[in-house]
Amino acid sequence: MSIAKVAVVVTAHNYGQFLRKCLNSVLNQTYKDYEIIVVDDASTDETPQIIEEFREKFGGKLKTIRTNSIGLAAASNVGIEISDADYIVRLDADDWFDENLLLIESHYLDTHPETDMVYSDYYTTDANGNIVEHFRYMRANDELKLLDRSPLASGAMYKKACWAELSGYNSELRYQEDFDYWIRFVNRFNVACINLPLYYYRRHGTTMSSNTKAKLAARRKVKADFVEYKLKNILSNQKTIAIIPARSSDGLALKQRNRGGRKTIWGRSSVHPPRNAGWQGSNRKSLIART
């Protein structure tokens, strides 16, 4: 059996009520050079039975794996790992594809070899599948400047080789694994946006993205980790670490440390000058930390 060009990786956990629509959206794709890998992460509802119901419909295209409550990021990695396809696209079990998503996105990657990921606009729907909003992404270049709004984890098609180079999704994250993957991806590879709505994103009471507090906390951690990673190499090559305006009197304490051969001068004052006092005359100095 020949290797498929595209792998659709479906992650499912107790979304049996939505799974048939999800799988039918893959079955009805106009593009046929794909395989579908369904990772059932310890579902206790009718998910296993529905997967078997579709096995004959997909023929040899369907692969299934059952995992033991390992979480979305890890389940995604497991599904992607067993595929030999060139391109990967994820699909959550409660969402669904436009019938042309695989055709349009794979064609874009085929005809733009410099691009490593392509994603599209999408529709948000209510729990019953009724369209609520057409979400339009900004241009890719503007998106990269912000590094703050990633495409949906699902529906974005990318080269498996890039996933491997990034060591996959961060399985330690309970939330925001998509944002973490996005900022690591765009820091190293090229992305593009197709301004057509090719994905249907269902919002409902049990969706993971409804836990706003935990989601925001995870997003802050991802940002902090990314900044630390980016600054680590930058700061290690800098001769000047900081220029700090400081008073030489009124409680200013100067200290000096030597860290790895770098001399660092820093100061702390418990006395804050009034706003109108200014930093004038001989009292103004610049403390420069340099090697």
pLDDT digits (tens, 9 = 90+) for 240-281: 555 555 555 544 444 444 444 444 444 443 334 444 444 343
Q: How do residues 128-157 score in pLDDT, each as one tens digit?
A: 999 999 998 866 555 455 455 556 778 999
pLDDT value for 291: 38
pTM of the predicted model, to two decimals? 0.72
Please state, in angstroms and as integers, the Cα–Cα distance from residue 249 to each residue in 127, 255, 268, 274, following that order.
65, 14, 11, 14
**Range with lowest mean pLDDT among 48-52, 180-184, 194-198:** 180-184
Q: Find tokens 């790992």 and name the residue.
A: 81
User: 3-state DSSP call for residue 255?
Assistant: strand
| C-beta of residue 118 within 8 angstroms of C-beta of residue 199 | no
Question: 125, 135, 94, 100: which is closest to 26 by C-alpha?
Answer: 100
Query: Residue 76 and residue 223: Cα distance in Å, rounded?
Result: 22
Residue 157: count other Cβ atoms within 10 Å of its Cβ.
26
pLDDT value for 245: 59
Q: What share of the chain is helix, strand, coil (3-state, %, to 5)?
A: 35, 30, 35
User: 3-state DSSP call for residue 119?
Assistant: strand
Amino acid (1-letter code) at residue 22: C
Q: Indicate whether 288 pLDDT > 70.
A: no
Would you state the structure tokens that stand for residue 198, as one six-digit string?
Answer: 């090719």
Q: How do residues 232-248 score in pLDDT, each as one tens digit?
A: 554 556 555 555 555 55
Percent of the chain with pLDDT over 90: 58
pLDDT value for 137: 80
Query: Residue 258 and residue 243: Cα distance in Å, rounded?
Result: 17
pLDDT value for 177: 84
Rounded to 5 degrees, φ, ψ at 42 are 60, 45
Q: Report the chain's mean pLDDT, rounded to a whole number.
A: 79
Q: Indicate whether 9 pLDDT > 90.
A: yes
Domains of the chain by start residue, with CATH: 6-232 (3.90.550.10), 240-290 (no CATH)
pLDDT value for 44: 97
Average pLDDT over residues 104-110: 98
Average pLDDT over residues 169-189: 87
Quickly list H helices, the chain: 16-27, 47-58, 72-81, 101-111, 140-146, 160-165, 177-186, 212-236
Q: Indicate whether 218 pLDDT > 70.
A: no
Q: Indicate whether 163 pLDDT > 90.
A: yes
